[in-house]
Amino acid sequence: MASAANLLAIDVGNTQTQAGVFHGTTLIHEWRLSTERGATADELAAAHDQIMRLRGGSLDELDAMIVASVVPTLTAGYRELSDKYLERTALVVGPGTKTGMPLLIDNPRELGADRLVNAVAAFQRYGGPSIVVDFGTATNVDVVSAAGEYMGGVIAPGVITSLEALASRAARLVTVDLVPPERLIGRSTVEAMRSGLVLGTVAMVDGLVARARAEVGEEAAVVATGGLAELVFPLSDEIDHHEPLLTLEGLRLIHEMNTAPRAR
């Protein structure tokens, strides 16, 4: 029996890049990097290899690579990394990639790869209908039908994006630490901003999810993922599950779909 392969899964977001190594179906390493849009393939390889060596591995041990990216320059960089250092062609999630999920949207080419990957993973784990809330540069709400179809979703400003906009556009407002406020009514500018940013995001997400549930079915499972999900999840009345590794799991599933041997 052949030994399980080592798969490098990469999710390139606008702010952070999440990566993980699967040995078969088991995630053995996971890490995050700041997304550097100008990074070359050599720089990307060095960064990931260094982290893997700290964990007891290296790029040399990898058998395959899959990438979901919303940054075109880095999509090309990771393709080159795989060709040059793994001597294999990376699977890049995009048009033509098998996902097992019909897309009920006007223009499937507009759909961010990470949103589709999350939807696939959520349906695989929780069935349908299901709703994914991804807290990143944007706050995305993506909806899967009971039949496992991608129905569409919502894109709203992310928490950090909103904070940066406030701090840059309002002369008397400053950057604050994003921690849950002790009360809604802030007694200082910092407290008021925390309430608006954190509790405002919770209220927005709960409101959007409630409306999505009304459209797709009240029994829909709601899953939170992304870098700031840990902040919002404990405060939300609508989110059922927190899955920080949802995107990596979706990438593994999609890689499996696209590389499984065909039945004769």
Q: Which sequence positions are flagged as catalytic?
A: 114
The dihedrals phi and psi of 41, each to the nearest 5 degrees, come to -60, -40
Residue type, 225: T
Length of the chain: 264
Distance separating alpha carbons of residues 157 and 140, to the nearest angstrom: 9
- Which two structure tokens, joined as six digits, stand for 13? 């977001």
Distance separating alpha carbons of residues 81 and 65, to the nearest angstrom: 10
User: Is 12 in contact with 32 (CB distance < 8 Å)?
Assistant: no
Residue type, 139: T
Distance separating alpha carbons of residues 3 and 160, to the nearest angstrom: 43
CA dihedral for 164, 170, 171, 174, sign (positive or negative): negative
Helix axes 159-169, 200-216, angle to 10 degrees: 140
The dihedrals phi and psi of 20, each to the nearest 5 degrees, come to -155, 155
Distance separating alpha carbons of residues 20 and 26, to the nearest angstrom: 10
CA dihedral for 99, 94, 217, 197, sign (positive or negative): positive
Rounded to 5 degrees, what angle do the CA atoms 128, 131, 132 make? 125
